[in-house]
Structure 1
């Protein structure tokens, strides 16, 4: 069965028995002909503090029975990318995958919060959709009807689309609302992208915001591997996105130093410079056209479809869809595919943008035939528990001088210039598990040459009280 990798000093598990007594966190919702043992939602959704112990859920470098995931920190500071593969998500043939790219001073916290919370919210709203089904539609939705007419009616793409679209829309809306009201997380100038998919049988459901991307490797009529882009990079210069932003008084333009990167700016100041049109968080721009409403799509998979790759923009800035498909399809082992994509992206960053700060990279590779190599491949590729711990440590972060920072959130009422930002000192950040992270050396406040950062150029920081004149 799948493996469970966590930051709680547990090694990779190859079965459901990992020493914990926690039951699998999945909601047994079946679609049209799939009979499942009904359990209540509360029986399955475990409190967030127990998520690292959930079987068949991986969120650090490693592999499962169907996938491999890998992330590597760039040159901008702490790794702000997060990722997840959750097998047996709503049934034993359903898998949830996601990649989340944080930006801003607290982007790493936002991305990890979304990674942990969004799948649970999606489960909750799927449960609500099931509960609202009535009559024959409800019976068929749960897979409890043998009526042929009902089976035919409920197996249509329209039924599936309506259920999953509603669940994705509500989950994303609830996620953004929770971030806004979070007592210990400042999302005013920080946020995260999200590209999420659920594969259930031959159905693929996708919801996404921001510029992280999903592609698929598939074989054409000549049995040659081709790349199919599944999502759209929601950049501010897309006509429909730019129109909405400008209608809300936001501004869209690129800086002279990086003319290929359009950004979103406040109507009254050249800040913050967000390089995407939709995101979780970033509440300083939510009144000016930046939204968290996801794009949704549904696709029926065929035998020609081989694998799906989800990745943050640090990969797509330097590698094409075709190059990524080639790398994954030619990987010596499937468990090494995600790492090979990241390694290739790192090399391309050095070649194409030698004066730039390499972005963080996160990759999820999902193989659609559900087959992976033996567990020995895991060790051969260096996915050890030590590697995992080094990526997402549960220990308090230390600054360069070895001192642990104290948790606090600071805001000033005015927009700072780059020079002022550099003189502000340390702004410690509260992390969801109680640890703290220093952002003293993150260089959030400006562009150095061609930085290609999809975060904030300037950070307007506000507080409720203004200083006395």
Structure 2
């Protein structure tokens, strides 16, 4: 049951249905929209199958995402691969939307520039360059708009990328989204969760130590307020695209609102845009990958998510993960899941964040053969 306090909050926005009825088709390859839920239940990518889903909680959806399967360089002939991007915005959707529009293009451009028959071009350096080019492009946009739209300097986004190419898996992350691998442990006949990304959130001691090492002369670089660690007492993440007010001192002034301004001037960026990048060879026992914004991981553990994907039908599995997270969110607030579904966007944010999930199932036969005969796919999640 909904408590009296919660019912008072949500009653003006109570609606008969948010998701679960009146599903409408958004067009081939554009997914379905069902109230605040967007989903593409199943499809094929170069290395297997996929499922995507997004649930909105904010007034404006701040999560953006994409899946691209086909050529991942500027050459149509290849190399072929699968690209996944999860862009969890904060302060507004502008940065996440910008990444959704530009990052993959930068990946293809830099990959094409380094492509040879011996070297397929994809590398950690290509991905890093693409992140930094996207960051530079957005900061230039902030500079153009700052005087008339100063709040754009306070908008940013986490950025999680996965690329499968030539039998290798590349993971790049800036922020606190997460990717988890489901790996078959044959000796135990179980599928175990293996986290592949590290999170740049000040709640982790290692992140606080990294910040202190970058800023040894600033005793206030991380501050504990109301039992939450924040960078400069403002933001929890230490790496992002955007957040210009914490990257360049020229934006740490009026007309930006005082709550976003750092009291003392700074010379070097407080937040970083460089991603943490890992590269690994995919193995036959690697079953699937779960990419998701932190809204999912607030309510499900890595192993809980892997168990759901491993034991349930593939079709609609991303939706099923979101439903499991929402059930947990409802339980934490001592309310019914059916009541949570009736709460409209905006007020929804009191109960859970925007959540984006992309599940990639891995077919090792396709991965090892480098198949390029699968259909081309280009999908933007949610409002993307």
TM-score, length basis structure 1 = 0.56
Once the two structures are TM-superposed, the CA of residue 166 in structure 1 deviates from its matched residue by: 1.1
2:329 is the counterpart of 1:349: yes
Higher alpha-carbon deviation: 282-291 or 220-229: 282-291
Once the two structures are TM-superposed, the CA of residue 244 in structure 1 deviates from its matched residue by: 4.0
**DSSP-derived class of the 2:288 partner:** strand
Provide the C-alpha distance between the structure 1 equivalents of 2:211 and 2:383, rounded to a whole number of angstroms.
36
Higher-Rg structure is: 1
2:210 alignment partner in structure 1: 241
**DSSP-derived class of the 1:12 partner:** coil
Of 153, 175, 179 in structure 2, the residue corresponding to residue 210 of structure 1 is 175
2:39 alignment partner in structure 1: 61
Contact 2:66 2:380 in 1 (8 A): no
Of 107, 110, 113 in structure 2, the residue corresponding to residue 122 of structure 1 is 107
Structure 2 alignment gaps of length 5 or more: 1-24, 31-37, 73-77, 248-267, 336-349, 366-378
Structure 1 alignment gaps of length 5 or more: 1-8, 14-51, 53-59, 131-137, 143-159, 372-387, 394-469
Would you identify which runs of 4 or more consecutive aligned residues in structure 1 move more than 6 Å?
none
Contact 1:82 1:111 in 2 (8 A): yes
**DSSP-derived class of the 2:183 partner:** strand
Higher strand share: 2
Give the alignment of 1:34-433 within 5 angstroms. Answer: 61-62=39-40, 63-65=42-44, 66-74=49-57, 76-90=58-72, 91=78, 93-104=80-91, 106=92, 108-130=93-115, 138-141=116-119, 164-182=123-141, 183-184=144-145, 187-222=152-187, 223-236=189-202, 237=204, 238-244=207-213, 246-247=215-216, 249=218, 251-256=221-226, 259=227, 261-265=228-232, 270=233, 273-286=234-247, 287-332=268-313, 334-353=314-333, 356-369=350-363, 391-392=382-383
**DSSP-derived class of the 2:64 partner:** strand
Structure 1 residues 391, 296: CA separation in 2 closer, same or farther (over 3 Å shift)?
closer
Greater relative contact order (CA < 8 Å, ≥ 6 in sequence): 2
Contact 1:245 1:251 in 2 (8 A): no
Once the two structures are TM-superposed, the CA of residue 83 in structure 1 deviates from its matched residue by: 1.1
Provide the C-alpha distance between the structure 1 equivalents of 2:271 and 2:381, rounded to a whole number of angstroms.
34
Provide the C-alpha distance between the structure 1 equivalents of 2:98 and 2:236, rounded to a whole number of angstroms.
21
CA RMSD in angstroms comes to 2.7
**DSSP-derived class of the 2:200 partner:** coil
Provide the C-alpha distance between the structure 1 equivalents of 2:235 and 2:62, rounded to a whole number of angstroms.
15
Q: 1:288-325: per-residue Cα shift (whole Å, max 9, x none)?
A: 52100011110111110000010000011111000110
Provide the C-alpha distance between the structure 2 equivalents of 1:391 and 1:114, rounded to a whole number of angstroms.
14
The number of aligned residues is 285
TM-score, length basis structure 2 = 0.68
**DSSP-derived class of the 2:356 partner:** strand
